Chain A
Amino acid sequence: MKRRLLLLLPLVVFLILAGLLYKGLSMNPSDRDSALLAQEFPAFELSTLKDPEVRVDESLLQGEVTLVNVWGEWCPTCKQEMPQLLELEDRGVRLVGVDYKDTRELGRSFLEQYGDPFEVNVFDPEGDLGFELGVYGAPETFLVDKEGIIRYHHTGYIAPEDVEKVIMPKVEKWR
C-alpha cells in the first residue's frame, strides 16, 4: 500500500509545476531585479548638466544615502514623476540625476519647467552610464547606500503612493 502511494507522485509533481507556472503567469515580466543589486555603483566620469567644465565620478555617491534617478527630457513619464521626486527632496532625501541620452539645452529647460530636486545632474548624452547601470527605459531609480553600493532598483515611474510605501522605507533602512 505504501508503494502504491508512490504512484501519486506524478500528480504531486504536476500540482507543484502547475502552481509555479500559474504564479509565473501572474508576475509582471518587466518587474525584475537589477543585476547590479549589492554591487558597487559603476565607475564613470562625466560632466554635469549645468557645467560642461565640471567633471564628476562615482565618488559623488559616497558618504550619504542617495537616490539616483535616470531621466530625460524625451521621456513623458519623467515629467509625471517629477512631483514625487520634489516631495522626496522635501523629506530630506539626497537626489542625484542622470540626464540620459539628452541634449544640454533640452535637459536644462526640462528642469526649469518641471522643477529641480537634484543636488547634481550627471550629463550622459551617449547613454554610457545608463548602459553600465543596465537601464532599458527611463525613468529608473537606484538607491545607493553610504558606501556607494546599489541597494534597490525601481523600474519605471515612482507613483505618488510609492513615495510613502516603497521609497521612504528603503531610504530609512539604509540610512
Chain B
Amino acid sequence: MFLLRVSLLAALGLSAGSVFGAIELHSFDDPVLQQRYESLTSSMRCPKCENQAIDDSNSPVAKDMRERVASLLRDDRSDIEIQNFMVDRFGDYVLYNPRLEGRTYLLWGLPAGLVLLGAMLVFLILHLRRQSSAKSLSAEERARLNALIEGKKPK
C-alpha cells in the first residue's frame, strides 16, 4: 500500500513537472508588472483548451497570448486595454469574468435578480399568510377571542 502510494505520488510529480516545464511564464523586474502579468494571464481562458487559463496551458495559442500580454504590459498598456485586445480577437470567451455590456447584462444580473425575486416571494408569502389568518375570524369570533383573552365569558 505504501509502495503504491509512493509510486502514485512520484507519477503525479513527474507529470506535473513535465506540464509545468513546457509553460514559460514571463518574468518582470518590476513586482507590480509581475503581479499584473500573473493576474491577467490567470484571468484569461485559453481558446483552444476549453477550460484552462492561459498561464496553465501549453497550447501554442496560449503561449502566443502570454507573450502578447507581456509585450503589451511592457508597452504600458492598461489591464482593461489588454483584456479588450484579447476579446477583440478571441471573443468574450477568453475572459473568465466577462465584461459588463449589453450582451452580458443577463449573465451579471441574473444572480442578483433571482435573489431579489426570492426575497419578494418570501415577503409576499408572509404577507398573504398574515392577511388570511387575520381575515379568517369573523366579527363574532373576534369578540369571543377578545373576551377569552380578557378572561370573561362571552355574552
Chain A contacts to B: CB under 8 angstroms: 3-4, 6-7, 9-10, 13, 29-30, 32-36, 101, 127, 131-137
Contacts and interface: CB of A to CB of B under 8 A. Distances in A.
B98 interface: no
Given A4-B128, A131-B64, A136-B46, 6 more contacts: A9-B117, A9-B121, A35-B90, A35-B91, A134-B47, A134-B91
Contacts of B47: 134, 136
Nearest to B114: A13
B141 interface: no
Chain B, interface residues (CB within 8 Å), range: 20 to 34
A79 B52 CA distance: 28
Contact of A7 (B48, B59, B92, B121): B121
A7 B88 CA distance: 44
B20 interface: no
B48 A137 contact: yes
A35 B89 contact: yes
Contacts of B124: 3, 6-7
Contacts, number: 49
Contacts of B61: 135-137
Contacts of B128: 3-4
21 contacts: A3-B128, A4-B128, A6-B124, A7-B125, A9-B117, A9-B121, A10-B117, A29-B50, A30-B50, A32-B91, A35-B88, A35-B90, A35-B92, A36-B89, A101-B60, A127-B64, A131-B64, A131-B89, A134-B90, A135-B61, A136-B61
